[in-house]
């Protein structure tokens, strides 16, 4: 009797764990962009951070396809020029949707082409080469 009960509990536990697994959502997707931070003449970390905040406030925070974004600067180690942008999406398809939505949002925020070009020129003066990676959460 004890053996039958243990087998029954084991079967229930395995069946229950299978039900839980079947209901799990697909893991989120993350892009990690590693920029080489530059120090333009007359520039400052404060200006770079201000330009990044303008971007985040007017695009990322309003983009329904971006779940989260974190900007990170180097703290300790061999390469002090790394500037990372880690962005979280619900799924792989949302990466392209978010990118397109960011372009729409920046044009809504800055409809004047000259002002937008000046913003991009100032913003891009702080960043050089970069690498892009896509990761999946666990």
pLDDT in tens, 76-108: 888 788 999 999 999 999 999 999 999 999 999
Closest CA to 56 of 115, 19, 102: 102
pLDDT at 77: 81
- For residue 116, the Cα-to-chain-centroid distance in whole angstroms is 23
Residues 6+ apart with CB under 8 A from 31: 85, 86, 87, 89, 95, 132, 133, 134, 135
Query: Edge-to-edge strand order for the sheet containing 68-73?
Result: 68-73, 82-89, 29-37, 127-136
- Residue 31 · residue 95 · CB < 8 Å: yes
Q: What is the DSSP letter of 91?
A: S
pLDDT at 130: 94
What is the rounded CA–CA span in Å between residue 54 and residue 39? Answer: 19
Q: Where are the domains of the chain?
A: 29-136
Q: Which residues of the chain have pLDDT under 50?
A: 5, 7-9, 12, 17-19
pLDDT at 3: 57
Residues 6+ apart with CB under 8 A from 89: 28, 29, 30, 31, 65, 66, 67, 95, 98
pLDDT at 14: 52
**pTM for the complete prediction?**
0.77
| The architecture CATH gives domain 29-136 | 2-Layer Sandwich (3.30)
pLDDT at 76: 87
């Amino acid at each position: 009797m004890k053996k039958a009960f243990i087998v029954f509990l084991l079967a229930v536990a395995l069946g229950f764990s299978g039900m839980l697994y079947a209901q799990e959502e697909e893991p989120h997707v993350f892009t990690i962009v590693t920029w080489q931070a530059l120090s333009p003449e007359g520039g400052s970390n404060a200006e770079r951070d201000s330009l990044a905040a303008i971007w985040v406030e007017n695009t990322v925070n309003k983009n329904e396809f971006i779940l989260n974004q974190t900007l990170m600067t180097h703290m300790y180690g061999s390469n002090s020029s790394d500037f990372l942008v880690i962005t979280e999406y619900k799924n792989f398809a949302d990466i392209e949707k978010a990118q397109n939505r960011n372009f729409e949002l920046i044009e809504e925020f800055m409809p004047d082409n000259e002002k937008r070009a000046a913003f991009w020129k100032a913003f891009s003066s702080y960043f050089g080469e970069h690498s892009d990676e896509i990761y999946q959460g666990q």
